Amino acid sequence: MTEWTKEQRYQRYEDVDQQTIETLTEQVNQSKYRQIFHIQPKIGLLNDPNGLIYFKGNYYVSHQWFPLGPVHGLKYWYTYQSKDLVEFEAIGPTIKPDTKDDSHGVYSGSAFEYHDHLYYMYTANHRDSDWNRISTQHIAKMAKDGSINKFPKAVISEPPFGYTQHFRDPKVHVQNGVYYAMIAAQNIKKQGRILQYRSTDIVNWEFQGEIQTNLDDFGYMWECPDYFNLNGYDMLLFCPQGIDSEGERFKNIYQSGYIMGQYDINNLTMNHGDFHELDYGFDFYAPQTFLDENNQRILIGWMGLPEINYPSDADGWAHCLTIPRVLTIESGNLKQRPIKALEKLRTNEETALGYANKFTRQLHPYEGKQFELIIDILENEATEVYFEVRTSKTESTLITYNKREQKLTLDRSESGQLPGPVEGTTRSTYLDTPLSKLQLFVDTSSVEIFCNDGELVMTTRIFTDENATGIKTSTESGQTYLKFTKYDLKGDIK
């Protein structure tokens, strides 16, 4: 089905006959692009991660879900439970569009603890008879049996004066017994903003105002706000829409990044530096963070972007979530590292030491479709060094490092079928320090590249043929002394 009507996009999952669901499920299960260690939709479309929390010994991870096809339609929350953020068990659809206010979708939101119970705050989406959007903010409580009970009416019933109905994605945090909600908004000048509300009882929310930054004209909408303090720095994450690309920056359709500095929560003023992208790959958006059982700040993102068609669409599903990352600030810089618990997935360790030169070398017995590859660059006298994964006679995903510029480039021009419309087939960024280490997490249809032990990350979907399993290395000129460590990865997402 290529063109979806409004009626098809807003069908309720509960109203679809079981045979249709089983047929779609079988189609999705047959897809050659299904991941093994990433959260992905059992059918249909996954987007923003929502309601991430560690609560009473369990992690809860939800995501936006339209079950009936790889398009944006009537959204539910679909929830997983986990003990370690590696092995997940599906709970299923938890917050459903079953009231007038959320008749056209349960949109994004966050989880928080209040009086020893788990609560969610989310945006309800309703359309009137003229298809005008009406956005309200709601709260739901998880009962001891896991069921979800919505508060009887909206806790924030409309945007404040001066803002449009683009008013969504509440992220709740608590300081000194006061609950704060950061909400994505658009002012009537069509500029992206973040608004702050406060409450002491989670029922009555007072509008405090707009967070003041020096990004006055920076896109027409800011989505998915997140605020936290990390190692003494205040971090404000958001996703601006409508930013023009600048050289190698901002090349995706929408951006995802952060500003850091010091935030005065009472006066709503943020003293901050530049806006930095969180990820330099093709497919990363709408991240959300939370604290794990060890009080580490964990980030999970949507491995996808709106308004892009992906090759898995033809199989009845789209998108997945990234692996969880640990965030730290070190020497004033944000570091993002894969969570250590992912080491549980490792099997079949293989290591090799050797030189790469201008003659392309196939690494044997290094191959695979789902693996972790750690490349330590011990000596580098090459002008450019090349690493290729998921290679075959016709396909390759290429990582290039230019030593003089300290420039890292990801090229998916030969990575099989390509999503579209997307600007270009490469993404590049510049390292602060010479490249010494790459850590790659490769799943059936994705690559996540961590550079220099967390200095930056590049996240990308690839849609190669099943026989693209090779790993290669070479240089432009000169040689590089490398250590490779490869693990096959097993998956356990139920």
Q: Which residues contact 419 (CB under 8 A, 6 or more apart)?
A: 282, 283, 308, 309, 310, 311, 461, 463
Distance CA(42)–CA(68), nearest Å, equals: 10
**CB–CB of 199/167 below 8 Å?**
no
Q: Which residue in the block uniquely carries the two structure tokens 């009970």?
A: 149
- By CB atoms closer than 10 A (0-12, 13-18, 19+), residue 188 is exposed
Distance CA(388)–CA(373), nearest Å, equals: 11
Distance CA(337)–CA(363), nearest Å, equals: 26
Give the active site residues: 48
